[in-house]
Each structure stands twice: as structure tokens, then as C-alpha cells.
A and B are shown apart, each in its own frame.
Chain A
Amino acid sequence: MPEVKRKYVTPGELVGKGKYNRTSNVYQIEDKFYSTRVGMAEVINDSLRVIPLTGPYIPREDDLVVGKIIDHSAFAWEVDINSCFSGFLLAQSVFGRDYSPARDSLTKKFAIGDLVTAKILAFDRTRDPLLSVSGPGLGRINQGEIVSISPTKVPRVIGKKGAMIKTIENYSKCRLTVGQNGLVIISGNPEGIILAKSALDLINHEAHTADLTQKVQDLLSRLNNGEK
């Protein structure tokens, strides 16, 4: 059984020392590692990391995100993806190579205020994130409710191999689309949406606690049985 060391840390606190192959949310001075965030420090085998409990969404290539169209030029839509930067969706990627601004109007496809599911096509330190809506399940969102959670809680909402999200979907009989940027779309019947929202709210507030899975299960079955 690998030794696991876990403790809550704040920025500047010592997490561990030695050689590690995988580190995240820490910085190093000589052989010592210190946390850069408020979170749960976890040291297992050759991995030393801090799981943050708060923080902005920093886009990564291939991330699925939910965004809101907030502006457009003749050549691209500007999309608010709840990050430090706006994402951009090129008209060319939607209308095709022979796209012409004279002929193809951007608002016909996506208007300001529309919600879309998109993938991060490209992002690096030198430019704004580029988005793509080509692919199954991507594109304009036509129905459902949008819930915002801290991007740091997204892994717990999804769960191991999607276990948590399946649990919520089963109880609520709704479909959930979870953006890595902390925006979640719930579509289905109104009662189910309320159920799903309660579960998401619980996870957002208690993601770091033990027995989260059990707590969510208990909450969902209570609500399902008509109890409050």
C-alpha cells in the first residue's frame, strides 16, 4: 500500500522534500517544495501536488468548455469562457475555407448572448485561446439551465471515470454537460434540474471533504423521496 500523506496547506507552507517526477501547484527551493495555493497537499510515491480549492480557469488544449458569445468582428466570435482571456471562434472554422464576410453573416450562426459548448483548439502563453465547435455534442446550446461552480471542483463533479456525474444524471433524469471552465448545463425536467443543482451546490461547497460520494448519494435519495 503506497504511503499517502495529506494535509491542508496555504501558500508558502512546506509540502515535502526530496525528488518527485510529478509536481503541481508547488514551487521548489533546493530540495524542498512549498505550496502556491490554498488546498489539499498530497504526496504519493513520486507525485507531490496541491489540489487547489479555489482558482481561475486556465484553458488547456482539448478542454471542453461552455461559453457565452459576447461580441463578434467580421471574422470571429468573441466567447466569454470564464477565464482570464476571451476565447475566439473563427468564422472560417464554422463556415468553411471559402468563408466570405460579405456573403456569410456571423449572427446567422451564433448571435450575441448564445451559449455554446466548444473545445479549446489551441492556447499558449503568447495568444488568446482558439475554440472549435466542430465535433459531436459541440455547438449552440438550445435548452437547459446553466450553473456556475468553481473550476477547481470540476474533477469532483465528474468523479472517477464519470461515476459522480452518472449518479447525478440517474437520480435527476437530466443530462449534464460539464465544462472544464466551471460552467455546467443541466437539461431535462424542472424537478430534475432542481435535484441536480442541489447536488452541484453540495459538491461546490464540500468537494474537499471525505465521504463526498456518500453525502451526494444521501442528498439525492432524500430529495428524490420528497424530503427536503
Chain B
Amino acid sequence: MASKKSLVVEYLKYEQMLKEISKGKRIDGRKLLETRPLSIEPGVIEKANGSAKVTLGNTEVIAGIKIQTGVPFDDTPNKGLLIVTSEILPIAASWAEPGPPNAEVIELARVVDRGVRESKIIELTDFCIVEGKKVLAIFVDISVLNVDGNLFDAASYAAVAALLTAKMPKYKITKEGEIEDTGKQIPLVTKLIPVSTTMALINDTIVVDPTLDEETVMEARFTITTTTKNSICAGQKGFPGGFSLKQIELAVDTALKNGESIRKKIKKSVELAQKK
């Protein structure tokens, strides 16, 4: 069984990476700030309330949404629940093993959760059925099917596309005060499209959408989620390295621009899916 040791990047490849970066390119031919081919396919799991499959280069993930009734938290009696989880399936890589999530997977789950939650893509008060007693709980579960770097962005796009195309049951309160499922399905009301952009710092240069090899040699990583061309709602620096303040400012600039372009792509694939 291969261990994570096999992830060591051959020195020759690393040298090649640095050489290309100094010329403004990467070893797969991309420019420094260019993302890999992205495909977003909503509605792949019909039994789920919402779903989307995303491939970003060779990284492949599926997000599935299940909406169930639940009890609200004590301190937010009129808000629904949003729970976002992520999991790297053992099929996704030779070194991935079944079992409880490790720190990396927990970080992935929490960063994607915050990117979705803080964007206010949905208004949780819209999901209250009876204040203090019954609300809707929206579970967004992301499963990684194949790992080739930048799980943060792929998972985020899948979760967002799934939310944008999800349907939830419509409830009504009967004359006797009972909660009844009308059997109708209505789309979720979504306010905006948050877009996550992950960047790696390699040899003091920022590159967008790192592959697994690039993540293995990078000094540090920064993921930023933007909601419009001028606003940010979440961010996380990762990996044992450091950014200068100027690099952070460049990263934010890049994320805002990239966010706009990916936002258009997500919108397009959602519109396509809704036509069907």
C-alpha cells in the first residue's frame, strides 16, 4: 500500500517548476494566474435535494444536499441549520484511507463551510417553519472522488452549484396547527454566488489553482472567497510558510478578479441545468 511518502516530488520536476515559473508559466502550460479546465454538472444525484459534480483539472468532487426537518439551536430559534461537511473518499488516492477525518480534512470541511455560510448565499431565517420548534436543516456533504490539488475550490464550487439548483419541500401549517408537507418542491432562494479562489506561493510567486504536485512543494497557501467583484467573505492561510503583506494584497486582487470569471461559469452551468 502506497503511503504519503510517494507524494515526494522528484527534484528534477521541482527544478522544472521553478524554471517555468520564472518565465511566467507552469509545467502544465498554464499561466501563473490561470485555472485548470472546470466543468460543473448540477443535478447528478436525483434522489438528493440538490447536487453537483465538479471537475477541476483532474480533481473530481460531488456535493449532495439533503434537506430534513430539525430543531433549531437555542440561541437562534428562528433560523434553519446549515451543515457543510467534506470527506476524501478512499477511492480518491492511493494514500487515502477510510476512517475518522484528520486535521487536513477537518480544515477542508470548515473552510468550505465558512465560505458558503459567511457569504449569506441563503438566508437561514427563510428556513424556519415554527419558531423555536421546527426548522429545516440543510446538509451539504461533499465527497472527493479524485485528488489532484485544490480540493478547497472544487468542493466550494460543487457546494454552491448544488445549492443554486436545489429544491426543498414546501411546508404548510394546517388548521389544527400541524406541520404538513404539501408535496410540492420549490427552489431555494439564493442571494448571490460566492466563489473561492485558492492560491499557492511557490518560490515567492503566487499561482492560482495548484495541482497536487504544486501543493506538495508550495511554501504556503491562501484561499479567499469573494461574493462580488469588490467584497470578500472568507479567507484562510494554510501550510507552514509565510506571505508578505504585498503578496496578500496581490492575492486578494487576484481572488476578486478570478471570482468574477468563475462566477460567470457557475451561472452558465446552473442556467443550463435548469433548462433541462
Contact, chains A and B (beta carbon distance below 8 A): no
Binding site for A on B (CB under 8 A): none
